[in-house]
Every structure is written in structure tokens, then in C-alpha cells.
């Protein structure tokens, strides 16, 4: 019973981070129809910049964290501007491969600047101690990460649903030409989308790096668990990815605890495969509205 409580709590908490990173993937997919494979490495860069500010310049934690997140956002802007802008109107496969190329490029840069070995933040971002939760001990990192992720998720959701810019983003997500004909500058919306995606990847990267360790391969290994969540929720559903993130987090933790450590890693993919056989657009993915 205690094990189940731990799994549930851990699953939900880590699921929050998956949901947040997943939102970054979903908004880019919605706006530009590009599946961004560079998301994990954008997060790594943010985490390493945060690390450097703390370690080399001795900046306080909150300054470093904010700067790390912002720089991941700016990195997103740069990727859109320099790698993808020229590919607008080209086959989508080209853009998708470009994001893969960017991720490999970032991996190389990070290995070159920071050592390819694993480091950890000089001061932990979240308190290291555990908290008691229905008789189970939960790490401070998981709780802190979840709160930050949920907060960011809520803020961005309100922004998309309530603000004029958010409305323009949703308009562009649906049809570029219509949005353009109404006076929306579509390329600006692309930039903004990549900036926001960069921010959430930065938040996710820092949370995950604080959880275990900061390494050029270690953080992406964790971050890539977002992909099954995105596919499960539906590539174009922000709400879907929130629920699917938690589902995947739970599945992973229960798989780890009750079957075996390796099984926990594949159980999300088993769930996704089975789901996609029945619903190819994901559980909450939008279907085209067709009046008959």
C-alpha cells in the first residue's frame, strides 16, 4: 500500500514536468506542423547556462534559474529564425530533419563548452530533503518541479485562451492564410511560439537536471519520456498532453516498482502503441471538423 502511494505521488509529480515540456512540443506542432526533436537539448542548454552562472559567476539560485530559462527561450527564437524560417513552404520532412540536426548540433556545443561528464548544480534548486505524503516520503525536487510546472502550464494556458496574442496564435495554428488575411503577422507568431516552447523546455530541463544529474545525455534521456505523453495526448492538444503526461508518469512509476526497472521505461511506449492502433490522432487530438 505504501509502495502504491509512493508510485502515485511520484507519477503525478513527474507527470507535471512531462506535461509542461509536452506543451512546448504541442504548441510548435500546432503553429507550424513541425515536430520539434530539439526540445530536450534546448532544455539541456538552459540547465547548463543556469549551472554556469551559479558555478562560475556565483550568481544566486533564482537569478541563475531565470537566466537559464530565458536563454532557452532565446535559443528557441534563434532556432526558428535561422534554422526553420527558410524552410517555410518546403516539405515538412525538411523542417523535422532540421530540428534533429539542431539537436545534434546543440549536443556537440554543450559537450564542447561544458565537459561531457555529468555534473550537478552547486546548490540544489529545490530542497533535497523528503516530505511526508500519506505515509510515503517524496523528494523535494519532485514537489518543487511539479509546482513550477503546474504554475507555468496554467499561466501559458490562460495566455493562449484569454489574450489577444494567444487568440492570434490559435488562429495561426488553425490556418496560416486566414490568419494572415486578418492582419496577423504569421512569422512573428512562429517566433513567439518557439520562444515560449524554449521557456518551457528550459524549465523542464532545469527541473530534470536537479532531479538526478546534469549531463548532456542524462537530461535528454529523461526529457525524451515526454514524447510518449505527447503522442498519447494528441500532437495538437495542450489539454490532452497535460493528462497524458500524468498518465505516462504513473505508468512509468508503477512499471518500475511492480515489474522491473527496465519495464518502467518501455511501459509508456506500450500504452502509446496500443492507443494509436485505436485512435491514430491520440486520445484528445483534434479531428478535422467536416459537416456532412
Partner 1 sequence: MLEINNVEVKYSDAILVLKGMSLQVADGVIITLLGANGAGKTTTLKAISGLLGTEMGEVTDGSIMFNGVRIDHLRPDEIVRLGIIQVQEGRRVLLHLTVEENLMLGSHGRQKGSFSMKTELDTIFGYFPKLKDLMHRVSGYLSGGEQQMLVIGRALMSDPKLMLLDEPSLGLGPILVKEIFEIVETLNTEKKLGILLVEQNAKFALGIAEYGYVVEDGRIVFDGSSDKLRENEDIKEFYLGLSQVGTKKSYREVKHYRRRRRWLG
Alpha-carbon span 256 to 235, nearest angstrom: 26
User: Considering beta carbons, is residue 123 or 165 the nearer one to partner 1?
Assistant: 165
Residues of this chain that bind partner 1 (CB under 8 A): 89, 164, 167-168, 170-171, 174-185, 286, 288-289, 291
User: Considering beta carbons, is residue 90 or 273 the nearer one to partner 1?
Assistant: 90
Q: Which of 14, 12, 35, 10 lies closest to 282, judged by CA?
A: 35
In the bound complex, what is the minimum distance in angstroms from residue 168's beta carbon to partner 1? Answer: 6
Alpha-carbon span 85 to 103, nearest angstrom: 17
Using alpha carbons only, what angle is made at residue 238 by residues 48 and 280, rounded to the nearest 5 degrees?
Answer: 110
Q: For 107-120, b where at least 16 C-beta lie within 10 A, e where not — what string?
A: beebeeebeeeeee
User: Considering beta carbons, is residue 51 or 160 the nearer one to partner 1?
Assistant: 160
In the bound complex, what is the minimum distance in angstroms from residue 166's beta carbon to partner 1? Answer: 10
Alpha-carbon span 76 to 39, nearest angstrom: 9
In the bound complex, what is the minimum distance in angstroms from residue 242's beta carbon to partner 1? Answer: 18
User: Considering beta carbons, is residue 38 or 179 the nearer one to partner 1?
Assistant: 179
In the bound complex, what is the minimum distance in angstroms from residue 172's beta carbon to partner 1? Answer: 10
**32-34-39-40 Cα dihedral, nearest 10 degrees:** 170
Alpha-carbon span 241 to 3, nearest angstrom: 26
Q: Which of 13, 6, 30 lies closest to 233, judged by CA?
A: 30
In the bound complex, what is the minimum distance in angstroms from residue 169's beta carbon to partner 1? Answer: 10
User: Considering beta carbons, is residue 85 or 185 the nearer one to partner 1?
Assistant: 185
In the bound complex, what is the minimum distance in angstroms from residue 173's beta carbon to partner 1? Answer: 9
For every residue of 135-187, DSSP letters joined together read TEEEEHHHHHHHHHHHHHHHHHHHHHHHSHHHHHHHHHHH-HHHHHHTT--HH
User: Considering beta carbons, is residue 107 or 237 the nearer one to partner 1?
Assistant: 237
Indicate if the alpha-carbon torsion angle 204, 79, 28, 217 is positive or negative: negative
Q: Which of 187, 202, 189 lies closest to 38, judged by CA?
A: 202
Burial of 65 (0-12, 13-18, 19+ CB in 10 A): buried
User: Considering beta carbons, is residue 171 or 205 the nearer one to partner 1?
Assistant: 171
In the bound complex, what is the minimum distance in angstroms from residue 257's beta carbon to partner 1? Answer: 40
In the bound complex, what is the minimum distance in angstroms from residue 292's beta carbon to partner 1? Answer: 11
User: Considering beta carbons, is residue 117 or 181 the nearer one to partner 1?
Assistant: 181
Amino acid at each position: 500500500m505504501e509502495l502504491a502511494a509512493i508510485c502515485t505521488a511520484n507519477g503525478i509529480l513527474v507527470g507535471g514536468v512531462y506535461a509542461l515540456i509536452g506543451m512546448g512540443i504541442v504548441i510548435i506542432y500546432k503553429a507550424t506542423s513541425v515536430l520539434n526533436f530539439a526540445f530536450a537539448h534546448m532544455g539541456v542548454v538552459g540547465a547548463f547556462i543556469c549551472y554556469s552562472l551559479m558555478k562560475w559567476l556565483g550568481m544566486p539560485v533564482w537569478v541563475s534559474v531565470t537566466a537559464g530559462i530565458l536563454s532557452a527561450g532565446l535559443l528557441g527564437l534563434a532556432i526558428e529564425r535561422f534554422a526553420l524560417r527558410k524552410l517555410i513552404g518546403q516539405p515538412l520532412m525538411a523542417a523535422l530533419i532540421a530540428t534533429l540536426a539542431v539537436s545534434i548540433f546543440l549536443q556537440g556545443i554543450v559537450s564542447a563548452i561544458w565537459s561531457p561528464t555529468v555534473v550537478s548544480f552547486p546548490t540544489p534548486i529545490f530542497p533535497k530533503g523528503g516530505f511526508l505524503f500519506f505515509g510515503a516520503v517524496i523528494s523535494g525536487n519532485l514537489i518543487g518541479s511539479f509546482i513550477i510546472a503546474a504554475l507555468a502550464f496554467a499561466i501559458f494556458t490562460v495566455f493562449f485562451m484569454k489574450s489577444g496574442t494567444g487568440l492570434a496564435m490559435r488562429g495561426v495554428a488553425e490556418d496560416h492564410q486566414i490568419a494572415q488575411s486578418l492582419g496577423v503577422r504569421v512569422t512573428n507568431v512562429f517566433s513567439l511560439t518557439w520562444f515560449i516552447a524554449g521557456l518551457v523546455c528550459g524549465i523542464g530541463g532545469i527541473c530534470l537536471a536537479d532531479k538526478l544529474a546534469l549531463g548532456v545525455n542524462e537530461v535528454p534521456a529523461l526529457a525524451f519520456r515526454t514524447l510518449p505523453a505527447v503522442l498519447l495526448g494528441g500532437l495538437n492538444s495542450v489539454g490532452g498532453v497535460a493528462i497524458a503526461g500524468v498518465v505516462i508518469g504513473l505508468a512509468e512509476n508503477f512499471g518500475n516498482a511492480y515489474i522491473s526497472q527496465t519495464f518502467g521505461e518501455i511501459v509508456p511506449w506500450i500504452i502509446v502503441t496500443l492507443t494509436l492502433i485505436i485512435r491514430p490522432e491520440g486520445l484528445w487530438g483534434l479531428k478535422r471538423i467536416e459537416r456532412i
